[in-house]
Amino acid sequence: MISHLPILQVIVPLMAAPICLLLKRSQLVWLFSLFASAIAFIISVLLLQQVMTSGVISYELGGWEAPWGIEYRIDKLNAFLLLIISAISTVVLIAAQTSIEKEIPKEKHTLFYILYLLSLTGMLGIVSTGDAFNVFVFLEISSLSAYALIALGQDRRALWASYQYLIMGTIGATFILIGIGLMYQMTGTLNMQDLSQRLPEVAQTRTVFTAFAFVIVGVCLKLALFPLHLWLPNAYAYAPSIVTAFFAATATKVAIYLLIRFTFTIFGLSFSFTTLPLQGLFLVLGLTGIFVASSAAIYQKNVKHVFAYSSIAQVGYIIVGLSTSTITGLTATLLHLFNHALMKSAIFLALGAVVYRLGNVQLSSFNGLGRQMPLTMAAIVIGGLSLIGVPLTVGFISKWYLLTALLEKGWWPVAILILLGSLLAVIYVWRIVEAAYFKKPLAGSAPVKEAPLFFLVPIWLLITANIYFGIDTRLSLQVASAAAQSLFGVSP
């Protein structure tokens, strides 16, 4: 059983999805999905433990040996990602039933859970597989279910947002497929380990350069790196709240994982960052992304838009961390993957609670909410502080590591820019705080009650995690730095 964990990680949610069809009753389906996701979470914990103690796990799918068959390869990096994805998915699902009762018509509830589980399967699959083509397959599974999930949003604009995402996402996936195809043409293999060994021989060919360009652009579309981010704000704003909370914490993270996997493992550090100018490119795009997206966040009227733009800015921080191409920089990136997932899922879940009570998240609806929904608003404030990077929250830890990485490189001006960027976060977070605590509720609006318990519990679980991992960084830091070291080939 233990030896089959890598495949069970993916199979459990995949099999759970069709079973949902048989269960029919919405409450039952919810409990079952929650159960499946929780099992996936437990598996990921076991996997992480195993990887940290005894090193890389290689699993041969169907018993076919590695270069020919599909290999599932769990190392520290993807074990960390599996943990993030399955944990967030489980916590978010706790609130799912309460939230979709208001946002999605009853006959579509089962469909929602099926899509949710398929999307989870896709993400877990992308992360755990060691086969480049398999990545594409799972990418399509998660993306197709994502388009449908977003289209379930109650606002009619959700359809348009989903369509935009569909077009951009398909272009991205196609680019990745072309890249993988070109690599296959040059090396005759699809296994990542194999690719990483064979690519250096043909590294100086135009085909490999082209393959690299296609893969990187495709992945950057998926992770919404500026200026390829245009699909993201509307997709996040109009999707059902639960979907936003789940995707904001995981979808872009998976794409960033792919970026790291392709640049570090498959193409290799020296090819990606020395032969090709990825370093300068990422630095410039990351920084521009931080400033453009944070400034855009300040001017949004819909609070989901505010935090969607903030997500794009956070991707900027992650990419700047990558661009240093040092161990510290990569550690900062991985830490921020974890920490940002905690912040954003908490914030978007709290916004889901606001939607539950108010029906929308326009900034003007937040007026006076500090008194009416004190716990929910307190969660948004703490999440916001974490986003700003105040000490004792996770945001500070990632910021500190990013700063150290930049200073290590001697990039003082970049360090200053990063800090200035986080001041923009102060502005967009404080607009919401002022609305909630200083403005009187609009005249004639009905009094609002605090969010139901099924919202408060997961929200505060995540907020507690935000503070806990800001104080006790042993787990996140240990795993992140071990993963970064192994990617650089340094034995910890």
Residues near other proteins (CB under 8 A): 385, 388-392, 397, 399-401, 403-404, 407-408, 412, 415-416, 419-420, 422-423, 426, 430, 434, 437-438, 470-473, 477
Q: Shortest gap between Cβ of 330 and other proteins (angstroms)?
A: 16
Q: Taking Cα atoms as reference points, which of 359, 376, 338, 370 lies closest to residue 456? A: 376
Nearer to other proteins, 230 or 298 (CB): 298
Alpha helices in 359-393 (DSSP H): 369-372, 374-388
Going by C-beta distance under 8 Å and a sequence separation of 6 or more, which residues neighbour residue 82?
9, 44, 47, 48, 74, 124, 127, 128
Nearer to other proteins, 167 or 392 (CB): 392
Q: How far apart are CA 123 and CA 250, in angstroms?
A: 8
Going by C-beta distance under 8 Å and a sequence separation of 6 or more, which residues neighbour residue 375?
450, 451, 456, 459, 460
Structure tokens at 454: 């099924």
| Angstrom distances, CA of residue 435 to CA of 238, 308, 443 | 22, 19, 15
CA 247 from centre of chain? 6
Nearer to other proteins, 68 or 438 (CB): 438
Q: How far apart are CA 381 and CA 436, in angstroms?
A: 10
The upper half-sphere exposure of residue 143, i.e. CA atoms within 13 Å in the direction of its Cβ, equals 25
Burial state string for 282-298 with b = 16 or more CB within 10 A and e = fewer than 16: bbebbbebbbbbbebbb
Nearer to other proteins, 122 or 421 (CB): 421
Q: Shortest gap between Cβ of 422 and other proteins (angstroms)?
A: 6
Nearer to other proteins, 203 or 426 (CB): 426
Q: Shortest gap between Cβ of 340 and other proteins (angstroms)?
A: 18
Cα-Cα-Cα-Cα dihedral of 5, 10, 16, 17, to 10°? 180
Q: Shortest gap between Cβ of 426 and other proteins (angstroms)?
A: 6
Structure tokens at 358: 């108010």
Q: How far apart are CA 337 and CA 425, in angstroms?
A: 18
Going by C-beta distance under 8 Å and a sequence separation of 6 or more, which residues neighbour residue 21?
110, 114
Q: Shortest gap between Cβ of 477 and other proteins (angstroms)?
A: 7
Q: Shortest gap between Cβ of 332 and other proteins (angstroms)?
A: 11
Nearer to other proteins, 64 or 412 (CB): 412
Nearer to other proteins, 195 or 418 (CB): 418
Q: Shortest gap between Cβ of 473 and other proteins (angstroms)?
A: 6
Nearer to other proteins, 47 or 342 (CB): 342
Nearer to other proteins, 174 or 473 (CB): 473
Structure tokens at 476: 């996140």
Cα Rg, the chain, nearest whole Å: 21
Q: Shortest gap between Cβ of 401 and other proteins (angstroms)?
A: 8
| Angstrom distances, CA of residue 283 to CA of 12, 58, 199, 220, 329 | 39, 34, 26, 14, 12
Nearer to other proteins, 233 or 384 (CB): 384
Nearer to other proteins, 132 or 406 (CB): 406
Q: In this structure, how many other beta carbons lie within 10 angstroms of the beta carbon of residue 275?
A: 15
Q: Rounded to 5, what percent of the chain is helix, strand, coil?
A: 80, 5, 15
Nearer to other proteins, 56 or 433 (CB): 433
Q: Taking Cα atoms as reference points, which of 48, 38, 99, 7 lies closest to residue 338? A: 48
| Angstrom distances, CA of residue 291 to CA of 34, 120, 314, 329, 456 | 38, 31, 10, 20, 33
Q: Shortest gap between Cβ of 255 and other proteins (angstroms)?
A: 27
Structure tokens at 160: 């348009």
Nearer to other proteins, 18 or 374 (CB): 374
Q: Shortest gap between Cβ of 371 and other proteins (angstroms)?
A: 11
Q: Shortest gap between Cβ of 415 and other proteins (angstroms)?
A: 6
Q: In this structure, how many other beta carbons lie within 10 angstroms of the beta carbon of residue 418?
A: 22
Q: Shortest gap between Cβ of 249 and other proteins (angstroms)?
A: 23
Q: Shortest gap between Cβ of 327 and other proteins (angstroms)?
A: 13
